[in-house]
Each structure stands twice: as structure tokens, then as C-alpha cells.
Structure 1
Amino acid sequence: MEVRLDHILNGETLTKARELFEHWVRSDVFVWSNLVQLLIIVLLFAVSRPIARVLQARLDTLFARETRRRVSSILLKNAAKLTALTLPATWLFLLWVTLVAFDYYEQPAEFLRIAAVLLAVWLVIRLTSTLVRDPGWAKAITVIAWAIAALSIVGLLDDAVAVLDGVSLTIGGVRVSALLVLNAVLSLAILLWVAVMASRILERRITQSVQLTPTFQVLLIKLLKVVLVGIAIALALSTVGIDLTAFAVLGGAIGLGIGFGLQKIVSNLIAGVIILLDKSIKPGDVISVGETFGWINSLGARYASVVTRDGTEYLIPNEDLITHQVVNWSYSNDAVRLKIPIGISYKSDPRQAIALCFEAAREESRILKQPAPNVLLKGFGDSSVDIEMRVWIRDPRNGVSNIKSAILLRVWDKFHEHGIEIPYPQRDLHLVPPAGLEVGAVVKES
């Protein structure tokens, strides 16, 4: 070891190394072609600055207008970070155009290529950290980008691709290589991310449209999501050279499995589509299903979210909304009539009681003036004279029991104020002794 160190550190070896380095710098670095490329890189940066300022001003104006329209998206949330990338993006575009020109005229452009690769990797990492929320995915994209850039700069990218393509196996006449799997995973991840982002943007646009009904909005959003995800998967498979017709048999097997094992899931999916098409239930409707009373918060592919007045959220399968009896309080009209039974004593005046009920209904703000409230004498019960109030409201979502309670409290106060008696159940008991029964007193002698 000492001999080797002495051999390496002696003056002759160091002199030769210095001479080799100087020769490499003179022959490969400080040559006119490289100096011209460095000058072009600096010049393109100077040209990019005014162009980037104009583009950034346009983007700031666009994002400001969308923000005033209250359009919420991941692009607007990161608008400042995105507009800051206009300079490197413009610089990269000009470098790419210059590279194309150099390659066309067969001029050396190694420095231009290195600068373009490094700048592209830096842009990818910045965009990833801005748009991709998952830190795991962002880190993976960063590592892959730097690895590709390093291999490209040192000229080993083609060799690495050849090595990955050489690691392969054949399955049923189909050659599957590591390169194919890597391309498929990357393509699928990128295309699915693009599909999800596009579906979110389109969903916001659709929900803001006043020309579309809520039911059609939900149906259109679901169809767009399915179509976009399907297109992303098909494109990912086709980009790696997989024949989509080979999935015909697999599709038949999946369909058979669905028929036997996923009947409930499929029935809920079909029921959800039927509900959206016939418009029997839509978001915002107030419904009653069994003991559950609330409004439709959202319609999913498998279930409907129903929120009750106490904040409890029930997830009701779509199939139950078709097979069971559902009361839709706002199906064709949001006006709802409530029937409130009231009983008064036989000693009280029913005409006065009816007038007081009308007065109580007129004083309640949630009761509609048209259709007008009505009070009817329904019959003579065992313990009371039966009266029924019929009133209309237009906001069942705000509660039905609470408006009934408010009206009954007003009636209670008015009845007590005017001496109208509210009866309670009464029974007269008559004792009839059997025939021949003598009733007497027994005196006990002491």
C-alpha cells in the first residue's frame, strides 16, 4: 500500500495526470464549438426573460380572473409557484428549438443537450412538488428524473435501456421485459393522474353550470370519470404494445364472476344509474326511508348519502331506494302539507277553537299564505272533539317536527288564554250488582 501511494504521489505521476487534464480541457472543453454553445445558452436565457415576463403577466391575469369567479382547483392554489416557472419553461423551449436546429445541420451540441436535460429535470421536480400531493410519489418521480438525467449526460441511457429490455421472460408467446413493465407502470401512473385531474376540473365546471339539473350533473360527472379512467388504462396498455383484443376472454371471465359473486354491487350500480335517469331522487331532496328522515347530500355509484337533522349521515344502498317505499318530500314540488291533530273538550266552543288555530297558523313565519291554512272539525271522539290543522311549508329540509311543535305551542298558549280546555282520556265506570245479591252490614259481636 505504501508503495502504491508513493507511486501515485510522486512528481512524475502527478505531472502526467496534470498534462492529461490540461489536454482534455484544451481538446474537449475549451474549443470553439463548446464556447459557442455556452454563449448560445447565455443568450437564450437573456431572450427568455422578457418573453417570460409577458407570459407571467398573462397567467397572473388569468388566475386572478378565475379566482374572482371562485373557481377552486389545484392550479389556482399553486398559481404563484406555477407562474414563477415561466422563465425556465421558456428557456427550455428555446433550448429545445436550438437543439433541433443544431441536429438538423449536424453541428455538435453536447453542452446544449446537457443544459436542456438538467433544466428539464429541474422543471419536472418543481412541477411534481407543486402538483403531486403525495410525498411518496413526488420523491419517486424526483429519483427517476435525476437517474434518467444522469444516465443521459454520461451517455449510458441507451445501455441502461438495453439492459432493462434484456431482462425478460416469455408468457404464452408474449415477451415481457423489465423495460416493458417499467414503461407500463409509468405510463399508467401518469395517465391516471392526468385523468383524475381532468375529471376534477370538469366536475367543478359541471357543478357550476346552471343550465344542467343536479341529477344530470351527477350522472355526467360519473360517466366522465369512468370514461377518462378507461381511456387512461387503454392508452397505457397500447403505449407498451399490448393488444387490447387479448382481454376479450378475460372480460368474459370477469363478467361471469360479477354475475355470481358481485350481484349486490352490480345491482346497486345499476340502481344508481336508474335513479339518476328517472330523476326520482336528486341531491338536495328531502326523503324518508323507513325511520330515516333527511336530505340527500350526495349520490354515489353504490349508495346515497342522507344527512338527518341531528347531523347523522346514513349511507343507504341504491337498491333500497328502488325496492323500498321512499317518501320524497320535494319530488315534484317543494311545498309540503302538514296535518296536525288537536283535541278540545266537549265543554269548549269548537268554532272559537278553530278561529284560534287559524290565528296561530297565521303568526308562524314558515307557514305559507298560499295555499292558505285550513282547520277542520274531523269528528267526535270518546274523550274530545277532534280538530285537524292543515298547513303548508316550503322548506321541509329545515325540519317538519319543529314546525309542528311551534304551532302546537302557539295553540296551547291561545287555548289557555281563552279558556279552551284540552281534555285527557276519561272513562265512566258503572257498577251493576248481579240479580239476587243482597248488600248488608256484618256486625261482629264482642
Structure 2
Amino acid sequence: MAADPTLMLDDLGRWAEAFVRPTVLVELAALVACVGLAWWLVTLLQRGLHHGDSRSILFGARVIDGALFPLALLSLAYVARTSLMHWMPLAVFRVAIPVLVSLVVIRIGVKVLQAAYPDAAWVRPIERSISWLAWLGMVLWVTGLLPMVLEELDQIHWKVGGSNLSVRTLIEGALTAGAVLLIALWISAAIEARLLRAATGAELSLRKAVSNAVRALLIFVGLIMALSAVGIDLTALSVLGGAIGVGLGFGLQKLASNYVSGFVILAERSMRIGDNVRVDNFEGRITDIRARYTVVRSSTGRESIVPNEMLIIQRVENLSLADTRVWLSTVVSVAYETDVELVTGLLAEAALASSRVLRDPAPSVALSAFGADGLEFTVGFWIADPENGSLGLRSEINRAILKALRAHKIEIPYPQRVMHVQVDGALPPALAPAAAPATPSDAAP
């Protein structure tokens, strides 16, 4: 049944007459006391909790910047209104309560959106929309037109399937959905701020991923609750949900395979943190094993992020699975006239120049090839710390070898090549004409 406009005008008239009564001063004094008390309580909490961050939803940089001050003021004003309404007709609080409710809605909506999406360009239009809707609702509430508007909107309805929808139902559902989403974003922003506090490096990435997952989950739950509030039967979405689930299953099978492979690697310990491996032509030490990938760091400082599935389905060389010792080698050439036994002893002693080279097993020297320029010897040695790299070690041993060979005047042969030089205008010997044989007439008398 629609509200009678005549009764509404009479009510507005009585409310306007209440503003000229002396009791208005009492209401104003009570409202000022509520403002002062709210200010004191919020200041006390802000100092006690050491909050002064402009990104804080409840507090903000100043007392009036956060959402806690209008919330506290609204609570105190409601208590004061309930106490005074038994003693006098109210006029100021009939305006103050709707205004404070609008301020709370605007402040919470704006602060939550700014905290959840600090750099998004679309946040500003939504903030303006929230402000306009809040002030419009306040005006309709104060003037008493809100019940009449809602009744009129309820008359505009239609039937969708088995549900009977109206404009009022849609508006109430949209407002409920907005409130639920704001609460979900508020909770996710608080969780994110706590998770990301003092986090750095890989831990920061992990916590950011967890906070994003929590936010997505809360928003999904909020949407489900909002659809239920509007009156939409969620069983109608079961077919669509099944199709989306099948699509996600096919699209995320590689991701699931990497996670399962990660658990298999950690369970069977075929590869451990600190092992030296060679996978996909990349050699290095395993520095971290995550649920989805493994980090392999080479001796040059480069890091390779290897999906765990690759470590399961491909051949991987683990250089330190059963033994952390690694065999390295270097090659040196000497002249063919050099004493082989002398060179073998010198190279074995030079390989022990570094403290990283193991004495047991001892370095080995082998005459590995007869090169084009000299004899080639291969010096092999074992180390137990391959994670420290091999380039510097090889350089140290090569310098010791060079010093030993120079001390004993053993020649390291240079490459020898035969060069043919052709003079301009002259023919190569193969193409020059043969000399004519001498005849009797050409002989000397």
C-alpha cells in the first residue's frame, strides 16, 4: 500500500516545528559531546596501536581520515538518540543519524577500494558513484520519501523463469552484493597487509600469491552470497560451473603435473638442495625446490627455473647424488722431443697447487693424443666443492703448469702451418712450361 503524501507532509511539518524548540540546544550539546568523545576514543586507539599509515582503512594518517571515526560517532549518536527520544521530541538527530550513516558508507567504500586497488584508474568513478548513492539515500531517508519510493519500485516487477523479480529486488540485491564485496575486499586487504609486512625476496612473492588467492576466494564467496540475496537459484549455474571446471581441468593439467612432480621429487629425494645437476644442457647446483619448479644456479651466477615435470620425464644428470666429488680436467700440449715421464711428474705436481684438489684420489696424468703440433696430456683431478665453480680452479692449475714447464724449459709448441706465396705475374710451378731439350745445332762449337 502506497504511503499517503498528506501524512508525510504533516510529519515534515511537525519535524520542522521541532527545530524552533529549546530542546534543540540539548540535542546539539549531546551531538557535540558525541563528536568529542569519538575523537578522544579514536585518538587513544591510534596512539595505543601506533597506527599512522594513510593506507590504513580504520585509522588513516589523521583521526578523521579513517573509517573508525565516523563509525564511533555513529554508534555514540545512536546511543544518545535512543536515550533522548524518551524525554523530548527529536529534530537534530533525525538528520544527524542519516548523515552519519552516509558518511560511514562513503568512507568505508572509498578506503577499502583505495587499499585493495591503489593504482587502478577505475576506482575514482566508483568512489563518486558510492558518494552520490549514499547522499541520495540520505535525502530520501530524511524527507521520509524512502518508503514511498521503495513501494513504487516494488510495483515494477516481471517474471524470469520461476523467479519474480522487481526493480526494488534488483536494487536491494545490488546493494547487498556491493556490501558483501566491500567486506570481502576489506578482509583481503587486511590479510595482504599482514602477510606482506617485512617480507622480501622469494618470501615476498609467495606471500603475494597467497594474498591474491585469498582475495579471489573471498570475492567468489561474496558473489555467491550476492546472487543468493538477489533471489537467483544457484542450481541453474551448475551446468555452467561444470563446463568451467572441465575447461580449467584441461587448461591447468600442466600446472597440476608440475605440482605432483614436485611432491614426487621431495618424497623420493632423487634430487636435493645442493646437488649438482645437468638438465636441458644447463649445469648448476640446486638452490631451491618449490612445489611447481626447481631453481638451478650455475657457477657463473645465472639461475634457471626448471619446471618439476621436466625433472621427472627427462633424463637428468645428478653429479652429486651418491657422491659430492666431481672430476675435472685440463689439457696441455708439449713438443714431441720432450721427456714424457718428466712431463707426467710435473703435471701431477702442478695439479696439487690448489687446496681444493683432493689428494685422495690423487690427480692423474695421461698421454691422451698425438696432436698435429705436439703431444697432448690430459690432467684429471677431483674436487668436493663444485658449487664454488671450476673456472678459477682451472686457471690456478693452468698457471701452475705453465710455471713448471717454463722452469724446466719444456716447449709448448706453436701451431705450424705451410704457406705458399705467389709472386704477381708468375705462374705456379705446376703450371709453368717445361724447358725445351737442347738440339745439336744449339750446342757450342
1:84 shift after superposition: 1.8
Percentage of pairs with the same residue: 21
Task: Check if 1:403 corresponds to 2:420.
Answer: no
Counterpart Cα distance in 2 of 1:158 and 1:300: 58
Q: What 5-or-longer segments of structure 2 have no aligned partner?
A: 1-12, 371-375, 417-433, 439-445
Instruction: Answer yes or no: is the 8 Å Cα contact 1:168–1:178 preserved in 2.
Output: no
Aligned residues: 378
Alignment correspondent of 1:339: 328
Does 2:58 correspond to 1:96?
no
Letter of the 1:133 counterpart: P
Q: Which of residues 343, 359, 373 in structure 2 aligns to 1:349?
A: 343
Post-superposition Cα deviations, 1:228-251, rounded to whole Å, max 9, x if no partner, equal: 633441243124415555544334
- TM (normalized to structure 2)? 0.63
Q: Which residue of 2 aligns with 1:82?
A: 60
Give the aligned partner of residue 414 of structure 1.
Answer: 403
The aligned residue for residue 254 of structure 1 is 244
Give the equivalent residue in structure 1 for 2:96: 112
Which residue matches 1:230? 217
Task: Work out whether residues 188 and 215 of structure 2, in 8 Å CA contact, stay in contact via their aligned partners in 1.
Answer: yes
1:379 corresponds in structure 2 to: 366
Give the alignment partner of residue 138 of structure 1, picking from 120, 123, 130: 123
More helix by share: 1
Say which of 33, 41, 47 aligns to 1:51: 41
Deviates more, 1:222-231 or 1:135-144: 222-231
CA distance in 1, matches of 2:182, 2:31: 34
1:123 aligned residue (89, 95, 107):
107
- Verify the 8 A CA contact 1:294 1:308 in the aligned structure 2: yes
Deviations for 1:98-139, whole angstroms, at most 9, x for unmatched residues? 314634875633133044235425633456546641343431
The CA distance in 2 between the partners of 1:332 and 1:59, in whole Å, is 55
Task: State how far apart, in whole Å, the 2-side matches of 1:165 and 1:296 are.
Answer: 66
Matches within 5 A, 1:195-206: 195=188, 198-199=191-192, 201-202=194-195
1:343, 1:423 within 8 Å by CA — same for their partners in 2? Answer: no
Question: 1:156-194, CA deviations, whole angstroms, 9 ceiling, x for partnerless residues?
Answer: 566676777777765543456643356436634652564
Amino acid of the structure 1 residue aligned with 2:352? F
How many angstroms does 1:95 deviate by?
3.0
| Local SS of the residue matching 2:28 | helix
Shift of 1:290: 1.2
Offset from partner CA, 1:382-420 (integer Å, 9 cap, x none): 233332022232645xxx353355335534543454345
Corresponding residue of 1:187:
180
User: What is the Cα-based RMSD across aligned positions, in Å?
Assistant: 5.1
Change (3 A) 1:153 1:196: closer
Kindly state the Cα deviation for residue 354 of structure 1 after the two structures are TM-superposed.
1.4
Partner of 2:118, secondary structure, is coil
Structure ID, larger Rg = 2
**How many Å separate the matches in 1 of 2:157 and 2:275?**
57
Secondary structure at the residue paired with 2:351?
helix
Distance in 2 between residues matched to 1:51 and 1:175, nearest whole Å: 47
Q: Does 1:445 align with 2:431?
A: no
